[in-house]
A and B are shown apart, each in its own frame.
Chain A
Amino acid sequence: MKRILIAEDDFYIRDIYARIFINAGYDTTTAFDGKDALDKIRINPIYDMLLLDILMPRMNGIDVLKAIRNLNPPKDQTPVYIISNLGQESIIEEAFQIGLDGYVIKAQVTPQRIVDEINLFLKKHAKNAI
């Protein structure tokens, strides 16, 4: 079972993501903001996949990405997807330079599409790893 950490500050959206990923058979953990997510990763670095919202209180998604990619040693290579909104293209560009694996635009896809996308990604990722 794949372990996924979802960081999203909006309670309902977090709830929806949690439900749909559980439904899809993921071992799902949620964090209510970036700091919470980073703490969880540091305490227990076991996740196969990180899903980060960009705009969150205390710490935003990009800073979380920066932090984990710079964890020392060893560098955390956990795949990271960003859930973004329209109008954040430059942030996504920056994120790819830091070490992003992919992104979805919240408004343009249904929650199920996100799950499908992550499924596909992890399948490819696993292939590449072998």
Chain B
Amino acid sequence: MKLSIRAKLLIGFTILLLLSSLIQAFAFNLSRGYISSLIDNNQTLQAKKGALEIQDFFTGINEVSSGLARQYKEEVLNAGTSGSVGNFVAINNYSIANNEQINKITYLAKSGRELYKFDQHGELASDKLSYEVPTDAFTNATEGKTAISKVYFLDGELGPHIDIFSPAYDKNHNVSGVIKMQIKLESLRKSLENVKYGEKGYMYVVDNEGRLITHPSQEFVNERPNLMSRNIIGLTLQNKDVATKDEIYTNENKVPVFAKAEKIPGINWVAVVEQPLSDADGYLIFIRNIYITTLFGATILLLIIALFLSENFTRPIRKLQKEAESIGKGDFHNVEIIKTGDEIESLSLSVSSMVNQLLARENSIKKENQEMTTLLQSLYDAVIGLDSENHIIAFNKAAEKLTGYTAQQVSNKHIDEVLELHYDDEKILFETYNNQSSMLISKLREKGLNMTNQRGEHLTISVTTSPILFEDKKTGSIIAFHDMTKEHQLEEMKIDFVSMAAHELRTPLTAIRGYAQLLEMQKASLMDESGKELIQRLVISSESLSNLIDNLLSVARIERNKFDVEKKPIKLEGLINNVVETVKHQALTKKQELELNIGKDLPTVMADPFRITQVILNLVANASTYTNEGGKISIAAFRKDNTLQVSITDTGQGIPSEAIPKLFKKFFRVSGVLEQGSKGTGLGLYISKSIIEMHNGKIWVESELGKGSQFSFSLPIATDDDIKNYQEHASMDIVNRSGQHVIIRR
């Protein structure tokens, strides 16, 4: 997933926030539990406190009651009927006056008859005394147990009342009667008002039957409600566990409240501390609000920080990114250093130095490129650059001039689409002239290729190609064209001139030769020896002039590709023997030894006997010419691999090594041997080479200065196919009128 740094930061912060809110929520829950239990405990404590208050209230009453019981025993029972009860009355009156909660005190006989009765006004007259209704509480008291009556209300008096029945004992420690004290619970309410809880918390008390005994609101008490419907009361009375849900109920004012109850031991009443739920939860809500507020604040703060930080982080990165993008597009400007003092600064430093290096490198490449372009454009020869697919990628001015195309026109075109080169009538493709090993290539170099350019000019060009290698892989080629047209035309003119001159010379020469022969044939016998010698010299000279002219014409024909060979299967032995016969005379006059080493069963070759004779004759005649008197000339013919090789070895003066490469070129003669005689024309070896090459053979020389030379040529041995082919085509030969095959010598 692709996310910007800002998004990642924001996500990170969000996760942080979520975690912290989870922790907060957990902490809140913990504290809520703690606070709840705190509130809970506190309220319970208050309830207990209330219960104690009530117990104290009753303890106080009991103390009064037991004091009165003692007084009653001593003053009334022990004294008997004779004694005065004045002290006893005074104590009772005092007790009522000083104990607000005591409304009445009544002394009862076990039968229930009222014996004495005191109220706020003092002792009641005996005629106002009556009988007590024997309630459970009264009965309990007669049995020695202090008991409390049910709550009851008195007309015209505020609040409920109860009666407390306590047993009164005689000196024998028997229950002689019961002391009944009427208690105003109004006073209990007052003392319970001190029990406060929180803002609005208060306490109320119900008796064992659920009747409301005290409540801060007197009116509610006066309504005399039974609050047993509040589960908390019933459950507490039965000493059962009170669930939290039972501690919450809606009170008489329809306010949801939270309550805690405590059973008062002994009297089985229940003290309940009640406070509005809103108050109980108020604290929690307050804490929750603090949590929420801090969380919200923290969120906003974190967001701001995250935005600020991410902006701070990403601004330099974005800046660097923009720089990098423009660098990628080739805009090598100076990169501004981002001063953040951190990794980004060092990154921008690296980028900057990288750009500087790139810039330097680009400049040097540009410079080199410019140099190369200038070099290329200023070349006189046409230069074309090709890619690996042989499409044109460079085309210099000379190339434009040569072809008539502009560089734009040919850009990315295949070379063969642009340049149509011909050799004779054959179209030569790039594949061919690029093939360095091709047999054709040297010929093409030498003779040039024909081409018609866009302006319709016919040109002769020579082509050189070189591959462009990059890490040993060919990535393209460079073709250089040299316009040979003028040279070629000059060459043609030269050949034309030579050819024409030779032809023109021939007719008078033929006449000279004819007359010389006639003279030799018909008149020599009439002459003396010196006349005969003169005639002989005339014949020989005219003969050699004729040979020279023949050679010149042959060269002209070779140059024009009009020199043909008529190949047929032949054996070379006969030819060699003929040559030996021809040169025998010359060799004899120079006292040279002629040696023949012809192998047995020489293979047949496809050759033109006339031309090959010409070659052998030329080589042997040369050997004889350049070998001193008494030297030795050997002619060897033998099979070598798939060729038939002929070697002519002499013991002549040899050829300087620097002359060897030029030996087979036309008009070349080894300097320093010019004086040897007029025989050499510098054409013989050139013609020989041409003839051998037309036979797909090879001709070469090995020589050592002062020791002699060896000229050799080899011809491919005729295959059965060659012979068969020849025989099939022989029938197409020209025949004369007598039906004989005629070979026309060309």
- Which A residues have a C-beta under 8 Å from some C-beta of B? 10, 12-13, 16-17, 19-20, 23, 79, 85-87, 89, 92-93, 96-97, 99-103, 105-108, 110-112, 124-125, 128
Contact = CB atoms under 8 A, between A and B. Distances in A.
For A99, A110, A111, which residue has the most chain B Cβ atoms within 10 angstroms? Answer: A110
A101 to B, nearest CB: 5
Contact of A89 (B506, B737, B746): B746
B681 to A, nearest CB: 16
Interface in B719-746: 734-738, 742, 744-746
Nearest to A16: B514
A101 B514 contact: no
Given A20-B518, A111-B518, A86 B550 contact: yes
Contacts of B550: 86, 107-108
B503 A85 contact: yes
A125 B738 CA distance: 9
Nearest to A80: B737
A89 B744 contact: yes
A16 B507 contact: no
A100 B740 CA distance: 11
For A86, A105, A106, A111, which residue has the most chain B Cβ atoms within 10 angstroms? Answer: A86
B108 interface: no
Contacts of B511: 10, 12-13, 16
A96 B734 contact: yes
A115 to B, nearest CB: 10
Contacts of B384: none
B507 A19 contact: no
B546 interface: yes
Contacts of A16: 511, 514-515, 518
14 contacts: A12-B514, A13-B514, A19-B518, A20-B514, A23-B522, A79-B737, A87-B503, A87-B557, A89-B744, A89-B745, A93-B734, A96-B744, A100-B737, A106-B506
B735 to A, nearest CB: 7
Interface in B508-562: 508-511, 513-515, 517-518, 521-522, 546, 549-550, 553, 557
Contacts of A19: 518, 522
A111 B514 contact: yes
Given A12-B514, A86-B550, A87-B553, A96 B521 contact: no
A119 to B, nearest CB: 15
B588 to A, nearest CB: 22
A12 B516 CA distance: 12
Nearest to A91: B744
A107 to B, nearest CB: 6
Contacts of B737: 79, 99-101
Nearest to B506: A107
Contact of B546 (A10, A20, A101, A107): A107
Nearest to A98: B737
Given A13-B507, A105-B745, A111 B517 contact: yes
Contact of B736 (A17, A86, A87, A101): A101
B387 to A, nearest CB: 48
Interface residues of B, number: 28
Contacts of A20: 514, 517-518, 521
A79 B738 CA distance: 10
Contacts of B510: 10, 13, 106-107
Nearest to B745: A105
Contacts of A110: 513-514, 517
Closest 5 CB pairs of A and B: A16-B514, A12-B511, A89-B746, A96-B734, A111-B514
A13 B511 CA distance: 5
Contacts of A87: 503, 553, 557
For B503, B549, B742, which residue has the most chain A Cβ atoms within 10 angstroms? Answer: B742
Interface in B439-482: none
A100 B736 contact: yes
A18 to B, nearest CB: 11
A124 B736 CA distance: 13
A55 to B, nearest CB: 10
Contacts of A128: 738
B736 A102 contact: yes
A92 B743 CA distance: 10
Contacts of B734: 93, 96-97
B471 to A, nearest CB: 57
B254 to A, nearest CB: 142
A99 B517 CA distance: 31
A100 B550 CA distance: 25
A10 B510 CA distance: 10
A106 B506 CA distance: 9
Interface string B653-693: 00000000000000000000000000000000000000000
B515 A12 contact: yes
Contacts of B508: 12
Contacts of A103: 744
Interface in B204-250: none
B631 to A, nearest CB: 30
Contacts of B735: 96
Nearest to B746: A89
Contacts of A89: 744-746
For B521, B522, B736, which residue has the most chain A Cβ atoms within 10 angstroms? Answer: B736
Contacts of A112: 517, 521
Contacts of B522: 19, 23
Contacts of A96: 734-736, 742, 744
Contacts of B506: 85, 106-107
A20 B510 CA distance: 14
For B514, B517, B521, B735, which residue has the most chain A Cβ atoms within 10 angstroms? Answer: B514
A87 B514 CA distance: 21
A111 B735 CA distance: 25
A93 to B, nearest CB: 6
Given A85-B506, A107-B506, 17 more contacts: A10-B511, A12-B508, A13-B511, A16-B511, A23-B522, A85-B503, A87-B503, A87-B553, A89-B744, A93-B734, A93-B744, A96-B735, A101-B736, A103-B744, A108-B550, A110-B513, A110-B517
A110 B521 CA distance: 12
Contacts of A111: 513-514, 517-518
Given A108-B550, A111-B518, A101 B738 contact: yes
Given A93-B734, A96-B742, A101-B738, A107 B517 contact: no
A89 B563 CA distance: 11
B510 to A, nearest CB: 5
Contacts of A105: 745
